[in-house]
Chain A
Amino acid sequence: MTPKRKRLWLLAGSLVVLGVAVTLVLTALNDNLVFFYSPSQVAEKSIPSERRFRLGGLVEMGSVKKNGQEIRFTVSDTHKTISVVYRGLLPDLFREGQGVIAEGSLGPDGAFVAREVLAKHDENYMPPEVAKAIKEAGQWRK
C-alpha cells in the first residue's frame, strides 16, 4: 500500500469516527442541556413542567421546614422567590442565608421539585451563577 493510500485510509477512518462523535455530541447537547435560572427568570419565563433545569439563589432565612425526609425551603434572588421541595439528604453545607443550586423541574403546584441539591467545598463560595442572578436583581452588596 502506498503512503498516499494509507493516508487516505487514515483520513477516512478519522472522518467516520469524528462524524459519529459529532452526531452523538449534538444530539446529547440538544437533549441534555440543563439551563440555569434564577427565581426572577422562572417567574418571567413559562417553563414546561417536565423540563429539567437548575435553580439558584439564596436559601431564605427561616424558610427551611422539615417533615420527615421531605424538606421545603424558599430560594430567593432578593427580588422574586420560589418554593422548593426536596426529598433526601441535604449536603453538609446547606444553610439558611447561603447560596444554593438545586436541579429538578417545576411541579404541578408551581413549586420546584428538586432531585438534587448541590454541595460546595467551601462555605465562603458563592456559585457564580447565583452571584450573577442576585446582581441582576439589583441587590448585590459586597
Chain B
Amino acid sequence: MIPELGHFALILALAVALVQGTLPLVGAARGDARLMALGSAAALTQALLVVVAFAALTQAYVTSDFSVANVVANSHSAKPLVYKISGVWGNHEGSMLLWALILSVFGAAVALFGANLPDTLRARVLAIQALIGVGFLAFLLFTSNPFERLSPASADGNGLNPLLQDPGLAFHPPLLYLGYVGLSVTYAFAIAALLEGRVDPAWARWVRPWTLAAWCFLTLGIALGSWWAYYILGWGGFWFWDPVENASLMPWLAGTALLHSAIVVEKRDALKSWTVLLAILAFSLSLLGTFLVRSGVLTSVHAFAQDPARGLYILAFLLTVTGGGLALYAWRAPKLTSSGLFQPISREGALILNNLLLCTLAATVLLGTLYPLFLDLLTGNKVSVGPPFFNATFVPICAPLFAALCVGPFLGWKRAELWPALQQLRIAFFVAVVAAIVAAVAIDSRSTLAAVAFGFGVWLIVGSLVEFAGRLRLGRAPWADSLRRLRATPRAAIGMTISHAALGFVVLGAVATGAWHLEVIQTLKPGEKTRIAGYDVALVRVDNVQGPNYLAERATLAVTTDGRPFTILQPERRLFTVQRRQVAETAIHTNGLRDLYATLGEGDRNTGWVIRLYLNPLAPWIWLGAALCAFGGFVSLSDRRLRIGAPSRRPAVQVAE
C-alpha cells in the first residue's frame, strides 16, 4: 500500500511540475500576476509530493518490504539499519529519486525565500527548475520506477553491494547530489536572466550563495569519495583519474570558476554574459557526470551493469538542457551589457585569469575523459587515457593558477599595480622557494617536479596568510587595532583566506603522498616480519571473525619502532555471505602527518598471507584540506551580504561608480 502511495505521489509530482514549468512562464511573458504566483505554490506542492515518495521508498527499505523489486535487488534483512537507509540511494532508481528530491526541495527553497526577487524572475526561475524536474520525474516513472512490485514477494533480498556498505560511501552520493543539483538552481537563474534579458548585481547576489553552497557540498562529496577510494580499494592512492571521478571534478572546476566570476558581476557589474554561460556549462557538466555514471559507456571502477536505454534518455536530456541553454544564450546574451570597465591588471583581470585557467582545466579533463569514446566511434580503436595524460596536462596548467591565486587578492578593483602586490608577497615567495629546495635536497632528489609542486603548496598557504595579515595590519598596528579589524573583516574575506590556504594543504598532501610514499608487498606467515621506513611490522596471527552480514579474516599486525611497541594494525578481508563477495578492509594508523596503511591479501596458513604496506606522508592533509576548503565556503556563505533577505536592504540595482 505504501509503495503505491509513493508511486502515486511521484505521478502527481510530475503533473504538478508540468504545470509549474509552463504556466508561470506564460504569466511572466504576459505580466499575469496570478499565473506567476502559481509557481511558488506549485513548487511547494511538488516538493511535498516528492518527499512523500522518498519517504515511502525509505519506509520500504527500513521495514525490508521484499515485495518491492528495488528493495529485493539492493537490500537484505540482515543489513545494519544505517545501510538499509543508505541503500535507498545506493542503487540507480533510488539515487535518481534522491536527485529529484533535492531538485524539488531546492525549488521550494527558492519559492520560500525568494519573496524579494522580482516577480517575473522568480516565476521564470521556478518554471525552469520545474522543467528540469519534469525531465527527472519522467525518467524515474518511465524507465526506472523504484516502486515496482514483485509478485510473489521474495523471502529475502540480494543485499547491497558490499563496497557500498561503508560510512564514507553512505553519505558520498547525497553530498555529491546536493552539489550537482545546487548547480541546477544557478542554471535556472541563468536561463531566467536570459529570458528577462537582464542581469544585475541583485541577480548575482542570488546566484552566488547557491553556487557557493553547491560548491561546498560538491567539494565535500568529492573529498569523501576520494577518501573512500583511499581506504577501501586498498591501492594506497586517492585519485585515479577515473572517468567517474573526472565527471565530478568537471562541474567542480566550472563551479569554482562560476563562484569567482559571480563576484565580478555582483561587485563590478561586469562579466555578465560570461557568468551566465558558465552557469549553463556548470550544470551541463553535472548532467554529463550523471550520464557517464548511469550509462556505463566508459570503463571505470564505478561502472555498474546498466541499461543503455537509460543512458540514451539522459543523453537526450543532457542535449536538451545544454543545447537549449546555449541556443537561448546565443540569441539573448548580446542584450546583456556590462557597465563596469577595468584594466587588465586589476582584481577583475585576476578573476578572469582564474576563470580562463579553471575552464581550461575543465576542458582538459573533459577531453581526456571523452577521448576514448570519440576514438572508439571514429576509428573503433579501444584506448584508455590514464593518469600520465592528466599529470602531463592538468598539473602544468595548475601552476599558473596557483601562482596567480595569491596575487589576485592584493589587486584592487578597476586598476592596480602588479609590482607592489608582488612586493607584499616577498616572504611567501621566499618561504616557498626554501620549502621546495628543502624538499628537493632532503626528501627526494630524483623528482624536481614534486619539489616544485611542494613549493607551490607552501606558497598557497603562506601567500593567503600574508594577505590576511596585511588586511589586519598584523604587526604594523597595535594588537587592539588588528583585533578590531578582524571583527570588521567580512566573513566572505575570511572564508576566502581559509579556502585558499586549504587548497595549499590539499596540494601538499597530494604531492607528498603521490611522490614520496613508500610501499612494501610481502608474503608473511604468522611470526614473520617485515620493515617499512623504520617501522617493524610483524604478523602476529590471522583470525576468523563473524560480522553482522559477513565473515572476515582479520590479521593482527604488531608494529614496533626500535623494539618498542608502536601500534597494532588489523586489516581484514571480508566475505559478504549474501553476495559471496570479498572486500578488503584496510587498517590505517595516522598521526596527522603520515598514514601507515596496511591491507591483507589472499593466503593461508601454509603459504602465508600477502600483506601490503604503505607509508603515505601527509596523506590526511588531502581530506582535511578539502574539508577546510568547504568550511571556508560555508564561512563565506554566512556573510551578512549573502544572507536571505539581505539584498532587499540595498537598492536593487547598484550602479557601479
Q: Report if A and B associate in a common complex.
A: yes
A residues in contact (CB < 8 Å) with B: 1, 3, 6, 9-10, 13-14, 17-18, 20-21, 24-25, 27-29, 31-37, 54, 66, 68-69, 87-93, 101, 103, 118-129, 132
Q: Is B612 an interface residue (CB 8 A)?
A: yes
Smallest Cβ-Cβ distance to A37: which chain B residue: B382
B344-A18 in contact (CB<8A): no
A88-B393 in contact (CB<8A): no
Could you jot down 15 A-B contacts, CB within 8 Å? Answer: A6-B341, A10-B352, A13-B352, A17-B356, A20-B396, A28-B388, A35-B382, A66-B607, A89-B584, A89-B612, A92-B584, A101-B299, A119-B301, A121-B303, A122-B304
Smallest Cβ-Cβ distance to A67: which chain B residue: B607
Within 8 A of A (CB), among B77-97: none
How far in angstroms is the closest Cβ of chain B from A47?
A: 14
A119-B233 in contact (CB<8A): yes
Q: Majority SS of interface residues in chain A?
A: mixed
Mask for B364-378, Cβ within 8 A of A = 1, else 0? 100110010000000
Given contacts A24-B393, A93-B581, A124-B305, 20 further A-B contacts (CB under 8 A): A6-B343, A20-B397, A21-B393, A25-B368, A28-B389, A29-B385, A34-B384, A34-B386, A35-B381, A54-B382, A88-B612, A91-B233, A103-B384, A119-B301, A120-B301, A120-B303, A122-B303, A125-B304, A126-B305, A129-B382
Q: Which of B360, B368, B371, B612 has the most CB of A within 10 A?
A: B360
How far in angstroms is the closest Cβ of chain A from B353?
A: 7
B residues in contact (CB < 8 Å) with A: 161, 163, 233-234, 296-297, 299, 301-305, 341-344, 352-353, 356-357, 360, 363-364, 367-368, 371, 381-386, 388-389, 392-393, 396-397, 521-523, 579, 581-584, 599, 601-602, 607, 610, 612
Docked complex Cα distance between A35 and B381 (Å): 7
- By a CB distance below 8 angstroms, the chain B residues around A119 are 233, 301
Docked complex Cα distance between A54 and B386 (Å): 11
- By a CB distance below 8 angstroms, the chain B residues around A14 are 356
How far in angstroms is the closest Cβ of chain A from B16?
A: 35
How far in angstroms is the closest Cβ of chain A from B118?
A: 28
- By a CB distance below 8 angstroms, the chain A residues around B299 are 101, 118, 127-129
Docked complex Cα distance between A107 and B522 (Å): 23
Smallest Cβ-Cβ distance to A92: which chain B residue: B582
Docked complex Cα distance between A1 and B360 (Å): 27
A13-B384 in contact (CB<8A): no
A35-B583 in contact (CB<8A): no
A25-B393 in contact (CB<8A): yes
Docked complex Cα distance between A92 and B574 (Å): 10
